[in-house]
Homo-oligomer: A and B are copies of this chain.
Amino acid sequence: MKHCHKWGQKLVSNGFRLTVAREVILDILTNTDQHLSAEDIYLTIHPHNPGIGLTTIYRTLELLVQTGIVLKFDFGHGRAKYELSEEYSYKKHHHHVICKKCRRIVDYSDFFEQEQEFIRKAEEELKNKFHFTIENHFIQFYGICPECKPPG
Protein backbone atom coordinates (compact mmCIF):
# COMPACT_ATOMS: atom_id res chain seq x y z
CA MET A 1 0.00 0.00 0.00
CA LYS A 2 1.15 3.45 -0.80
CA HIS A 3 -0.06 5.61 2.00
CA CYS A 4 2.57 8.02 0.88
CA HIS A 5 0.16 10.44 -0.72
CA LYS A 6 -0.80 13.48 1.23
CA TRP A 7 -4.47 12.82 0.56
CA GLY A 8 -4.21 9.37 2.10
CA GLN A 9 -3.27 10.85 5.42
CA LYS A 10 -5.93 13.51 5.13
CA LEU A 11 -8.65 10.94 4.54
CA VAL A 12 -7.55 8.69 7.37
CA SER A 13 -7.15 11.56 9.79
CA ASN A 14 -10.71 12.58 8.97
CA GLY A 15 -11.93 9.15 9.96
CA PHE A 16 -12.41 7.71 6.48
CA ARG A 17 -10.88 4.58 5.06
CA LEU A 18 -8.49 4.58 2.18
CA THR A 19 -10.19 2.02 -0.01
CA VAL A 20 -9.14 0.78 -3.42
CA ALA A 21 -11.84 2.77 -5.15
CA ARG A 22 -10.77 5.96 -3.42
CA GLU A 23 -7.13 5.35 -4.21
CA VAL A 24 -7.84 4.69 -7.84
CA ILE A 25 -9.98 7.79 -8.19
CA LEU A 26 -7.38 9.93 -6.47
CA ASP A 27 -4.66 8.47 -8.65
CA ILE A 28 -6.55 9.48 -11.76
CA LEU A 29 -7.02 12.97 -10.43
CA THR A 30 -3.37 13.19 -9.44
CA ASN A 31 -2.06 12.11 -12.79
CA THR A 32 -4.22 14.14 -15.09
CA ASP A 33 -3.81 17.76 -15.99
CA GLN A 34 -7.41 17.98 -17.10
CA HIS A 35 -10.74 18.70 -15.52
CA LEU A 36 -12.63 15.47 -15.23
CA SER A 37 -16.30 14.77 -14.86
CA ALA A 38 -17.59 11.82 -12.86
CA GLU A 39 -18.17 9.99 -16.10
CA ASP A 40 -14.69 10.80 -17.41
CA ILE A 41 -13.28 9.16 -14.33
CA TYR A 42 -15.61 6.22 -14.68
CA LEU A 43 -14.58 5.59 -18.26
CA THR A 44 -10.89 5.91 -17.45
CA ILE A 45 -11.12 3.53 -14.56
CA HIS A 46 -13.52 1.00 -15.98
CA PRO A 47 -11.18 -1.03 -18.24
CA HIS A 48 -8.88 -1.78 -15.30
CA ASN A 49 -11.40 -1.68 -12.48
CA PRO A 50 -14.75 -2.80 -13.84
CA GLY A 51 -15.86 -3.33 -10.27
CA ILE A 52 -16.04 0.36 -9.48
CA GLY A 53 -19.41 1.85 -10.32
CA LEU A 54 -20.50 5.37 -11.13
CA THR A 55 -22.25 5.63 -7.79
CA THR A 56 -19.03 5.09 -5.93
CA ILE A 57 -17.36 7.74 -8.01
CA TYR A 58 -20.03 10.29 -7.21
CA ARG A 59 -19.90 9.39 -3.55
CA THR A 60 -16.13 9.52 -3.44
CA LEU A 61 -16.01 12.85 -5.21
CA GLU A 62 -18.53 14.31 -2.80
CA LEU A 63 -16.43 13.04 0.08
CA LEU A 64 -13.29 14.53 -1.40
CA VAL A 65 -14.94 17.87 -1.96
CA GLN A 66 -16.14 17.92 1.64
CA THR A 67 -12.67 17.07 2.86
CA GLY A 68 -11.17 19.81 0.75
CA ILE A 69 -9.03 17.49 -1.32
CA VAL A 70 -10.93 18.12 -4.51
CA LEU A 71 -12.55 21.17 -6.06
CA LYS A 72 -15.81 20.96 -7.95
CA PHE A 73 -16.31 23.23 -10.93
CA ASP A 74 -19.31 24.10 -12.98
CA PHE A 75 -18.48 25.51 -16.35
CA GLY A 76 -22.09 25.62 -17.40
CA HIS A 77 -21.93 22.64 -19.70
CA GLY A 78 -24.34 20.48 -17.79
CA ARG A 79 -21.90 18.35 -15.86
CA ALA A 80 -19.65 19.08 -12.93
CA LYS A 81 -15.88 18.84 -13.31
CA TYR A 82 -13.41 17.98 -10.64
CA GLU A 83 -9.75 18.59 -9.96
CA LEU A 84 -7.39 18.29 -7.01
CA SER A 85 -7.24 21.39 -4.89
CA GLU A 86 -4.01 23.32 -4.88
CA GLU A 87 -2.84 21.78 -1.65
CA TYR A 88 -2.91 18.26 -3.05
CA SER A 89 -2.02 18.95 -6.63
CA TYR A 90 1.21 19.35 -8.49
CA LYS A 91 -0.45 22.15 -10.36
CA LYS A 92 -0.27 25.69 -9.21
CA HIS A 93 -3.36 27.65 -8.40
CA HIS A 94 -4.89 28.76 -11.64
CA HIS A 95 -7.89 30.25 -13.34
CA HIS A 96 -9.75 28.97 -16.35
CA VAL A 97 -10.28 30.20 -19.85
CA ILE A 98 -13.12 28.42 -21.60
CA CYS A 99 -13.95 28.33 -25.28
CA LYS A 100 -17.65 28.91 -25.76
CA LYS A 101 -17.68 26.86 -28.92
CA CYS A 102 -15.59 23.74 -28.42
CA ARG A 103 -15.69 23.94 -24.61
CA ARG A 104 -11.97 23.53 -24.35
CA ILE A 105 -10.65 24.62 -21.00
CA VAL A 106 -7.23 26.20 -20.68
CA ASP A 107 -5.55 26.73 -17.36
CA TYR A 108 -3.94 30.03 -16.81
CA SER A 109 -1.62 30.46 -13.91
CA ASP A 110 0.86 33.03 -15.12
CA PHE A 111 -0.55 35.69 -12.94
CA PHE A 112 1.08 39.00 -12.99
CA GLU A 113 1.68 40.42 -9.54
CA GLN A 114 -1.43 42.52 -9.80
CA GLU A 115 -3.65 39.49 -9.86
CA GLN A 116 -2.62 38.04 -6.54
CA GLU A 117 -2.80 41.45 -5.02
CA PHE A 118 -6.27 41.98 -6.44
CA ILE A 119 -7.60 38.76 -4.97
CA ARG A 120 -6.09 39.40 -1.58
CA LYS A 121 -7.56 42.86 -1.49
CA ALA A 122 -10.95 41.79 -2.81
CA GLU A 123 -11.28 39.13 -0.15
CA GLU A 124 -10.33 41.62 2.49
CA GLU A 125 -12.85 44.11 1.22
CA LEU A 126 -15.62 41.52 1.13
CA LYS A 127 -14.81 40.56 4.66
CA ASN A 128 -15.03 44.16 5.83
CA LYS A 129 -18.08 45.14 3.85
CA PHE A 130 -20.28 42.04 3.95
CA HIS A 131 -18.69 40.17 6.85
CA PHE A 132 -18.29 37.13 4.67
CA THR A 133 -15.53 34.67 5.43
CA ILE A 134 -14.17 33.96 1.99
CA GLU A 135 -13.00 30.42 1.43
CA ASN A 136 -12.28 30.30 -2.25
CA HIS A 137 -12.85 32.00 -5.55
CA PHE A 138 -13.47 31.07 -9.14
CA ILE A 139 -12.30 33.27 -11.93
CA GLN A 140 -13.30 32.20 -15.40
CA PHE A 141 -12.93 33.89 -18.73
CA TYR A 142 -15.18 32.85 -21.59
CA GLY A 143 -14.38 33.44 -25.22
CA ILE A 144 -13.49 31.86 -28.53
CA CYS A 145 -10.29 29.89 -28.92
CA PRO A 146 -8.05 30.34 -31.97
CA GLU A 147 -9.16 27.05 -33.54
CA CYS A 148 -12.81 27.99 -33.36
CA LYS A 149 -12.29 31.50 -34.64
CA PRO A 150 -13.78 32.05 -38.08
CA PRO A 151 -10.91 32.42 -40.58
CA GLY A 152 -9.97 35.80 -41.87
Contact = CB atoms under 8 A, between A and B. Distances in A.
Interface of A: 72-76, 80, 97, 99-100, 106, 108, 110, 112, 114-115, 117-118, 121-123, 125-126, 129-146, 149
A112 B122 CA distance: 8
A146 B131 contact: yes
B136 A142 contact: yes
Contacts of A121: 112, 114
A144 B143 CA distance: 30
Nearest to A75: B74
B123 A141 contact: yes
Interface of A is mostly: mixed
A146 B117 contact: no
- The quantity of this chain's copies bound in the complex is 2
Contact of A133 (B72, B75, B143): B143
B143 A134 contact: yes
A62 to B, nearest CB: 12
B133 A106 contact: no
A115 to B, nearest CB: 6
A112 B21 CA distance: 47
Nearest to A137: B141
Given A115-B118, A130-B146, 10 more contacts: A110-B125, A114-B121, A123-B141, A126-B143, A130-B145, A131-B149, A132-B144, A136-B142, A138-B139, A138-B140
Nearest to A108: B126
